[in-house]
Structure 1
Amino acid sequence: MSTEHARATIGLTGLATMGRNLARNIARNGHTIAVHNRTTARTTALLEEHGDEGDLVGAETLEELVAAIARPRVVVVMVKAGEATDAVIDELVPLLDEDDIVVDAGNAHFADTVRRDEALAGHGLHFVGMGVSGGEDGALNGPSIMVGGSDHAWERLRPVVESIAAVVEGTPCAAHVGPGGAGHFVKMVHNGIEYADMQLIAESYDLLRTVAGLEPAQVADVFEDWNGGDLESFLIEVASDVLRHTDAETGRPFVDVVRDAAEQKGTGRWTVQTALDLGVPVTGIAEATFARSLSGHTEQRAAAREVFATDPEEQRVEVDRDTFVDQVRAALYASKVVAYAQGFDQVAAGADAHGWDIDLGELATIWRGGCIIRAQFLDRIKEAYDDEPGLTTLLTTAYFADAVKAGVDAWREVVATAARAGVPTPAFSSSLAYFDGLRRERLPAALVQALRDNFGAHTYERVDREGSFHTRWAEPDRPEVAAD
């Protein structure tokens, strides 16, 4: 294995599945890429198996990797998030020169990206947090890419990034979304929306199977039909594919042999935690995240089944199958609109809190292809933000408002039917509650504020005059005073 001095356009270290596929994608698109892995065997295997796909330069050490890249150097790090990423960066920094660029293309927490950006700036280096969505297939054939970093870094990266990204209607699904941690923040929220979208699809499947009595292959047919309309999306497409699959060993529907305890790598949890810090209600994302957590508490679930076991016949709800299928479709669409609206609200709040100028319409554009949440209605979201850049909520735009109004009765019927049948629908139910909370003239938060003032003197505001007030609840006549 050898290197030729400074002939590579870009370098990459970390050749697990995502890194390997991203390197192949870069090479396929005409760029010379130097590749490195701590275990040299992986580098050798990549060159032997895919060296004919483009100009791949192998490096046995990080020193060789850096020496092979033309200045200003770009080194992409594709290793496990957290301590492993910090360790690689610490090794790289002494090898680099001023204005060189380090790119973390993994699923890092945006706060870590902010920290690393500040640390590397002290060495005269540029740090980029680059969100890459699309899984291993996207990494190889065209992902959606969200770049966070300096203008200098973006100009150096742009030719490579735009050439390897998915393309929709002639537009690469890649953008410089902002400085510092903006790219990883946006990718985090993208994954949060993904959690909600998958949970809603799973709840739709459960309702169609449990209440309407459809078999998995029949639900696959329903999803395939939905995928030809306004619900067209990658996740609906693959859900249909999964539900149609039969386990070769048992002959059973594949979904029935998969353990019903969902895993998570942390991005959904980060989304919810960050939303709480920002004061943004992302109820659909939160319930999707908690649904995964509940699914993993198998001992508690087993204990609860022993105590609360119910005869399925006692909770059987009779429905007209065709009508119910249409109702679930309407509920899914309305809930999906809520999930995306909440996600875009969180991006806007994060941008405001951190001073990032994130173009929300551009996000909808780059999420149309390559990424996991790619869907037809992202075009509508782009149009909404193009028409009204300062949009308060997607739910009030004409297109989405009309869709929700048309489906709200079905949405309510689905949630009510699920409750009667004992089918848990946390994402459907919380999304409906969010919608009702937004449109309600008066919320019981008034009582909450009064209670807080009663036991903790936390003060309250009045509807009839300005200022903050406190009632002296312990005094006989309970006088009201202006708060300091």
Structure 2
Amino acid sequence: MASPTAQSEVGLIGLAVMGQNLALNVAEKGFHISVYNRSGDKTDAAVSRAGKEGVGERLHGYKELKDFVASLKRPRRVIILVKAGAPVDATIKQLTQFLEPGDIIIDGGNEWYENTERRQAELAALGIHHIGMGVSGGEEGARNGPAMMPGGDEGAYSHLRPVVERVAAQTDDGPCVTYIGPGGAGNYVKMVHNGIEYGDMQLIAEAYDVLRTVGGLSNEELAATFVEWNGGELESFLVMITSLIFSVRDTEGEGFLLDKILDKTGMKGTGKWTIQQAAELSVAAPTMAAALDARFLSGLKDERAALVADVREALYAAKICSYAQGYNIIRAKSMEKGWGIELADLGRIWKGGCIIRAAFLDRIKVAYQRNPDLPNLLVDPDFAAELARKQDAWRRVVAVAVGAGIGIPGITGSLGYFDSYRRGRLPANLVQAQRDFFGSHTYERVDRPGWTHTVWDASFGSADSITTSGYNN
């Protein structure tokens, strides 16, 4: 183990696969990094691996937390990658025994944003800064370049910026990291990123189901189809890995591995948080909600080419709706909290490294640069025109799936979202009348301002009603 002399620009606690890979990434980019894990065997493993990968002289392992802290240059920058919740609180409590005012703790886990803001307030009393930084890209991204979403004190972030801009995925638009905003903004944006990810994965699974069940495509044909799709407007990390999944054969038996996997999906909570936030902010998110519900519930050969083309169009259109919903949740929360999140920046930093990276994020970035106050991606001129062109194919896919008894709630929910958003009038007037009837909740009229309550006929007949203006809902 290394001696505790101040030599490292950054420290990292938590050496499971993500933490170990990120530490190696930091070292590979030319920074000295100190690492610590509660169980020393993982520290030994990280040090050994660093030696094998040629970065051993810049990765320093410590068995004692005091020595770990002493090895860091001031202001000390400590990244924590442990399980969210109580383990983070316990780690911070131990760590603060050795930190000083001006030091910075960076939580790189998927933490609930209010926990981050609580910790920021608690640590501020000690003069210690706290940054909540979402990290996306999985194990591969952590090792070779993730997308990172830091939020908290901007001054503290300036000390972290030289490191994360080198460590992040690099694209033609620059590093896939930017200061998101104050408080828990970074964790919040990462949470909604994961909600979009849920929607994206569900939509792709539904497209697979339609092509397999209705179109009768084999795994080889599905692989070829997704390879082709990834060469066009659907180019993305998830479509790419899906094409590879179709091709993997089972090494323990006949056929393909995908066909042997139990149809029961796991989750870690961020998707559920996103839908809860959408409800609290009154932001429609049916595609992501359908994806979450799907996790909870966990003959046309001559027309095959036409079906594949239609599913491609439907998948793309539904994906745009899913991203639009995620952006709207972030925009609403940013307005509520005064975070000032630049939505165009998200399209830039999500282009590389993260799980939802996709070619059309460039176009989303341009849409928000063109109009930072864009109320919805669906009304951006370019996306609106594209969705209009694709809607016929979208409707055919929904119709054929319903006719075949195949549930595609994400694609169907996206179509409902698209249709509802572009209508001039929805049947919500009846719902509001019902609320006023049974609960005196009042309603607004289309022909004059103000709130109105009607004493509706208790006999449900057509007798005259009494209307009073000026109520406040």
Query: TM-score under structure 2 normalisation?
Result: 0.96
2:344 aligned to 355, 358, 361, which one? 361
SS at match of 1:53: coil
2:318 corresponds to: 335
Q: CA deviation at 1:228?
A: 0.5
Equivalences for residues 459-478 of structure 1 within 5 A = 459-474=442-457, 477-478=464-465
2:218 corresponds to: 215
1:320 corresponds to: 303
CA contact (8 A) 1:15 1:78 kept: yes
Distance 2:399 2:97 in 1: 62
CA contact (8 A) 2:173 2:348 kept: no
Over aligned residue pairs, what C-alpha RMSD do you find? Answer: 1.2
1:235 aligned to 231, 235, 238, which one? 238
CA contact (8 A) 1:3 1:58 kept: no
Q: CA deviation at 1:251?
A: 2.1
CA contact (8 A) 1:243 1:253 kept: yes
Amino acid across the alignment from 2:70: A
- Give unpaired runs (5+ residues) of structure 2: none
2:152 aligned to 146, 149, 152, which one? 149
1:53 corresponds to: 55
CA contact (8 A) 1:212 1:324 kept: yes
SS at match of 1:174: coil
2:71 aligned to 47, 68, 71, which one? 68
Structure 1 segments, 4+ long, off by >2 Å, are: 316-319, 474-477
Equivalences for residues 381-420 of structure 1 within 5 A = 381-420=364-403
Q: CA deviation at 1:179?
A: 1.1
1:380 corresponds to: 363
1:344-388, Cα deviation, whole Å (9 max, x unpaired): 111101111111011111110000000011110001011111111
Q: CA deviation at 1:219?
A: 0.8
Q: CA deviation at 1:254?
A: 1.3
Is 1:428–2:411 an aligned residue pair? yes
Distance 2:55 2:12 in 1: 16
Q: CA deviation at 1:49?
A: 2.2
Distance 1:232 1:317 in 2: 27
Could you tell which deviates more after superposition, 1-10 or 465-474? Answer: 1-10
2:181 corresponds to: 178
Is 1:138–2:136 an aligned residue pair? no
SS at match of 1:290: helix
Amino acid across the alignment from 1:36: Y
Is 1:17–2:17 an aligned residue pair? yes
1:199 corresponds to: 202
Distance 2:181 2:247 in 1: 41
Distance 1:360 1:131 in 2: 16
- Give unpaired runs (5+ residues) of structure 1: 296-315
Distance 2:344 2:23 in 1: 29
Distance 1:114 1:151 in 2: 14
1:92 aligned to 86, 90, 95, which one? 95
Distance 2:223 2:333 in 1: 37
With over 3 angstroms needed to count, the CA separation of the structure-2 counterparts of 1:319 and 1:113, relative to structure 1, is: farther
CA contact (8 A) 2:25 2:144 kept: yes
CA contact (8 A) 1:200 1:427 kept: yes
Q: CA deviation at 1:401?
A: 1.1
Amino acid across the alignment from 1:466: P
1:115 aligned to 115, 118, 131, which one? 118
Is 1:128–2:111 an aligned residue pair? no
Distance 2:140 2:301 in 1: 42
CA contact (8 A) 2:136 2:355 kept: yes
1:437-466, Cα deviation, whole Å (9 max, x unpaired): 111121110000000000110100000000
SS at match of 1:240: helix
1:300 corresponds to: none
Q: CA deviation at 1:94?
A: 2.4
1:44 corresponds to: 44
Distance 1:183 1:396 in 2: 27
Q: CA deviation at 1:317?
A: 6.5
CA contact (8 A) 1:317 1:417 kept: no
Q: CA deviation at 1:111?
A: 1.5
1:97-144, Cα deviation, whole Å (9 max, x unpaired): 111100100111111111111111121111000010000000000000
With over 3 angstroms needed to count, the CA separation of the structure-2 counterparts of 1:319 and 1:269, relative to structure 1, is: farther
Q: CA deviation at 1:3?
A: 2.4
Could you tell which deviates more after superposition, 202-211 or 86-95? Answer: 86-95
Distance 2:395 2:267 in 1: 30
CA contact (8 A) 2:152 2:181 kept: yes
Distance 1:389 1:468 in 2: 32
Amino acid across the alignment from 1:280: V
